[in-house]
Amino acid sequence: MTKSANSLLSRFRALGLGLALLGSLSLSVVSCKKDSTTAPADDQDAVATVKVATSATLGPYLTDANGKTLYFFARDVDGTNACTSATCSPLWPVYYEASLKVPKALKAEDFATKTTTDGRPQTTYKGWPLYYYAPAAAGVYTREAPGVTGGNAIGGIWHVVNPGYGVVLASKLVEDKATHVVANKTYLVDTQGRTLYFFAKDNTSPATQPTNCTGGCAAIWPALYMSVPAVPSTLHASDFATITRDPSTTTGPYGTTTATREQLTYKGHPLYYYAGDNATRGHAEGHDLLDSGDLWFVAAP
């Protein structure tokens, strides 16, 4: 092959390599442009179908994807929709999201789906069924606009769903263990719907509250260990405080404690669970129960 032919062949090879590199670069640029228009896969907040809004008076609260406020009902403490009457259900439509995606501020495991007694799916949060509020205007039930919280505190038993609540209200029929009379009670529960109690001895012997229920008593009536929590607007955080209990080891359905801890009080009354409730939401088997000569009551405001 002549020298000029070799030179021409080298030029063609160089040109081919340049075109290949240019093509590869073009594909890379196209690929980068395509990726730049796609939301990051881990951007949970951008794709969330349940949101967290904030109110100056109510704090953070849950909404649907469009910002419409979600509520829970104190009578649903058992975990079942109790708003089934012809007057209640149109006013409080159920919230259901089939493809639930939560923002980073929430935990997916706190949400689930239950079926109402009339066969409708409903989303729950920490076991509490979720609702909208739809007040009637000119005979038409219309859901609140985004950002409106007009359903909060209605009847003292409907509240916005603040993820930071530590204690909430329950309302249900409770049997008095002394008289066996069944009556409706509104009382305190934790956010999992587990009943909280007062101890009569704490009222008659207030100076010794931290030691009024220890040892075997504490195994049956575990203290509620919690700092002062966020609470629904019909309760007041100023009514809650803590006392310091003596170190002890207690094992039961609510866990094991082995150190000095702060027990939550409400209006000066220390709060307890009852082991006989088996840490089950809605159970209130300890109300007006005489144990070792002293009475116990559900913690009613």
Q: What pLDDT score does 252 carry?
A: 67
What is the pLDDT of the chain when averaged over all its residues? Answer: 87
Q: What pLDDT score does 44 carry?
A: 76
CA distance 286 to 295: 9
Q: Which residues pair with 136 in a beta bridge?
A: 141
The bridge status of strand 167-175 relative to strand 182-190 is: antiparallel
Q: How many CA atoms lie within 13 A of 269 on its CB side?
A: 19
Work out the widest C-alpha separation in the chain, in whole angstroms. Answer: 118
70-96, pLDDT tens digit by residue? 999 999 999 999 999 999 999 999 999
> Whole-prediction pTM value?
0.81
Q: What is the 3-class SS of the chain, one letter each residue?
A: CCHHHHHHHHHHHHHHHHHHHHHHHHHHHHHHHHHHCCCCCCCHHHHCCEEEEEECCCEEEEEECCCCECEEEHHHCCCCCCCCCCCCCCCCCECCCCCCCCCCCCCHHHEEEEECCCCCEEEEECCEECECCCCEECCEECCCCCCCCCCCCHHHCEEECCCCECEEEEEEEEECCCCCCEEEEEEEEECCCCECEEEHHHHHCHHHHHHCCCCHHHHHCCECECCCCECCCCCCHHHEEEEECCCCCEEECCEEECCCCEEEEECCEECECCHHHCCCCCCCCCCCEEECCEEEEECCC
User: Token pair of 53, please?
Assistant: 């809004």
145-164, pLDDT tens digit by residue? 999 999 999 999 999 999 99
Question: How many Cβ atoms sit within 10 Å of the Cβ of residue 197?
Answer: 24
Residue type, 153: A
CA distance 31 to 80: 50
208-222, pLDDT tens digit by residue? 999 999 989 999 999
Residues of the chain with pLDDT under 70: 1-42, 246-252, 254-260
Q: What pLDDT score does 102 carry?
A: 96
Closest listed residue to residue 243, CA positions, set 291, 301, 202 = 202
